Amino acid sequence: MSTFLEDVNERIGGVPIQGCYHCRKCTAGCPIAFAMDYNPNAIIKMIQMGMRDRVLNSSTIWLCASCETCVTRCPNNVDIARMMDVLREMAIEENVDAKEKNVLKFHEAFLSNIKLGGRINEPLMIALYKMKSGDYFSDLGMGMSMFMKGKIKLLSPRTKDMKSIRNIFKSTGK
Amino acid sequence: MKVSYYPGCSLHATGREYDESVKAVSKALDIELNEIDDWSCCGASSAHMTNFKLSVALPARNIIAAEKDELDVMVPCAACFNRFKSAQYHLGNDEALRAEVEGIIGEEYKGTVAVRNPIDIIYNDIGVDKLSEVVTKKLEGLKPVSYYGCLLLRPPEVCEFDDYENPTIMDALMTSLGAESRKWSCKTDCCGGSLTLGKTEIVKRLIDRLMTMAREAGANCIVTACPVCFANLDTRASENVVLPAFYFTELIALALGLDGSDAWFKMHNVDPRPLLSSLGLI
């Protein structure tokens, strides 16, 4: 049976994360580190130590905004941003209760919306997110104001060849 | 010149003024836009954050559609641009993935078209000299900081855009319009992007920092090329630090005296018209 470290490295498919020598450049440049429960370099160490549950249950993997500052600056070319993608994929596959539920619910609402029309219809996507998250009231005033200014429309053109879109989702779904 | 055009979902909704100003500026600069037939969403952050293969296949469908015309593809949205470039990078470097994605789409991926942001096209193909020649109203008094954000630049080997720590080409465009581009140290910082709905308080903190730093640099507005950054700048700043935000194409259109800018400015949440009229620019 493979270790957590081996699983993560295989999925990243690039530089093995143990190339990290903990200079903490990733953490120093991470714009979201202040809100994370573990810093990006700590996540690397925890993976090496086989702490699968704590990593997949962390807020860090959901709060990472994929700004890619970490991988751009890493002196050892460890793809930390891709590592975060991989950890999110693993958490979803293993049905881990996401520590930052609303972030995952946003992604689910976004992708369901593409599956439905091929393109994002913002009011529908946000309505779906609000239903999933239970966060009904924030930004309502902003939404109304944008609607009045003609920035958001209830109906928007969809992709015509929806068969191809459904096929992409079917073929890449796990 | 003639390019394929991929507006993406935001430009048909909350980023409407970006779409309309890109079209107006392109027309004025003789760039003919040929919208990709029956395009679909690039998958944005949500696809690559949760499903790698989906995040390659969704942009690939659009790139393959664009390859039929063999023209460079103009992608104004920084988020779409990043997903397109990333898909090209992976399809070009991973033969097995490429074969699988071709199987899913049912067509061959050739890798023959260049994906380009309009900042790059205007800077490199039109040029700042030509741009300043067609300026009819110099943007004197306007002091923007250029905010490039994440997705045009990183990772650099994928984006191939500009210096990834100190990009300057949007600043050069602003200078050619007669604006006084201010130097600042947050050009490539993150706005929090798609966390804006799920974790609004994080985005507010990042946006307030950007606004504070822009003010410290002596700016009176912020200019961007990303509808996600724009939406966050335009809606998430605290009242005591807020500055108006612009899409760079709105400012080009204003300097070229093109029609439509008043209608775009009206759509902003933070009304930029008091600033512009105080400077005598509208």
The ipTM, to two decimals, is: 0.96
- Which one of A37, A82, A106 makes the best mutation probe of the B interface by having the most chain B beta carbons within 10 Å? A106
For residue B1, the tally of other CB atoms under 10 A from its CB is: 13
Span A118-138, pLDDT tens digits: 999 988 999 999 999 998 888
> What are the domain boundaries of chain B?
2-116, 127-278
Say yes or no for a CB contact (<8 Å) between B58 and A114: yes
Query: Residue B195: its chain A contacts at CB < 8 A?
Result: 32, 63, 65, 103
pLDDT at residue A45 greater than cutoff 70:
yes
Task: State pLDDT tens for residues A12-25.
Answer: 999 999 999 999 99
Q: What is the residue whose two structure tokens read 């068969």?
A: A163
Say how far apart CA B272 and CA B234 lie, in whole Å. 10
- Whole-number Å distance between alpha carbons of B224 and B227: 8
pTM of the model: 0.97
Residue of chain A whose Cα is closest to the Cα of B19: A151
Hey, where are the domains in chain A? 4-93, 101-172
Could you check whether the bond before residue A31 is cis, i.e. omega within 30 degrees of 0? no
Task: State the count of interchain CB pairs (< 8 A) between A and B.
Answer: 160
Q: Is the Cβ pair B199, A102 closer than 8 Å?
A: yes
A66, A133, A135, A159: best to mutate for the B interface, most B CBs within 10 A: A66
Q: DSSP alpha helices (H): ranges in A30-160?
A: 40-48, 52-56, 60-63, 69-73, 80-93, 101-117, 122-133, 140-148
Answer whether A31 sits within 8 Å of B54, measured CB to CB. no
**A4/chain B closest Cα distance in angstroms:** 18
* From B10, B49, B153, residue closest to A88, measured CB to CB: B49
pLDDT at A174 over 70: no
| Sequence-distant (≥ 6) Cβ neighbours of residue A68 within 8 angstroms | A81, B150, B154, B155
Is the CB of residue A95 less than 8 Å away from at least one CB of chain B? no
CA dihedral A47, A49, A53, A58 (to 10 degrees): -50
Nearest to A67 among B61, B154, B266 (CB): B154
Question: Which residues, listed in sequence order, are joined to residue B144 by a DSSP beta bridge?
Answer: B221
> Which residues of B are less than 8 Å from A87 in CB distance?
none
Of the candidate CATH numbers 3.20.20.60, 1.10.10.10, 1.10.287.1080, 1.20.1050.140, the domain formed by B2-116 belongs to: 1.20.1050.140
pLDDT tens track, chain B, 282 positions? 999 999 999 999 999 999 999 999 999 999 999 999 999 999 999 999 999 999 999 999 999 999 999 999 999 999 999 999 999 999 999 999 999 999 999 999 999 999 999 999 999 999 999 999 999 999 999 999 999 999 999 999 999 999 999 999 999 999 999 999 999 999 999 999 989 999 999 999 999 999 999 999 999 999 999 999 999 999 999 999 999 999 999 999 999 999 999 999 999 999 999 999 999 999
Whether residues B14 and A122 touch (CB distance < 8 A) is answered with yes
Q: B35: which strand partners?
A: B5
Select the residue from A36, A56, A69 to test the B interface by mutation, using most B Cβ atoms within 10 A: A69
Q: Which amino acid is at B225?
A: A
Residues of A in contact with B200 (CB under 8 A): 138-139
Which chain A residues have a beta carbon less than 8 Å from that of B204?
none
- Name chain B contacts of A96, Cβ cutoff 8 Å: none
For B231-259, write each residue's pLDDT tens digit.
999 999 999 999 999 999 999 999 999 99
Q: What is the pLDDT of residue B201?
A: 97
Hey, what CATH topology would domain B127-278 get?
Rossmann fold (3.40.50)
